[in-house]
Amino acid sequence: MTHTTLTSRELNQDVTRAKRAAEDGPVFITDRGKPAHVLLSIEAYRRLTGQRRNIAEALAMPGAAEIDFEPPRVDVGIRPVDFS
């Protein structure tokens, strides 16, 4: 993982560069020479915060169709109801 440092001015002049750099690691944004902000990819942010993806995002992930998954079937028997 690499990290990149950009000044606020550099960020304003080339946002695309900052977003590309965030794919490889955190981008530190400085203000008057001091770190002020950090730009992360959404994946890095989720790993950092421990957020889990919802089922729609998990099913939409690349390669999901190639995963062989056959859950076991459950046989739920019907029982008579006791109204006593």
Tell me which CATH code domain 4-53 carries. Answer: 3.40.1620.10
User: pLDDT (tens digit, 9 = 90+) per residue, 40-72?
Assistant: 999 888 888 877 767 777 677 677 667 777 878
| Per-residue model confidence as pLDDT tens digits over 10-37 | 999 999 999 999 999 999 999 999 999 9
46, 5, 49, 12: which is closest to 29 by C-alpha?
A: 5
Q: Is the pLDDT of residue 9 over 70?
A: yes
pLDDT at 18: 96
What pLDDT was estimated at residue 61? 67
Q: Half-sphere exposure (CA, 13 Å, Cβ side) for 76? A: 0
> Which pLDDT belongs to residue 37?
95
Q: What is the pLDDT of residue 84?
A: 81
Give the residue extent of every domain in the chain: 4-53
Report the predicted TM-score, pTM, of the whole model to 2 decimal places. Answer: 0.58
Q: Count of CB atoms within 10 A of residue 58's CB? A: 10
Distance separating alpha carbons of residues 51 and 67, to the nearest angstrom:
23
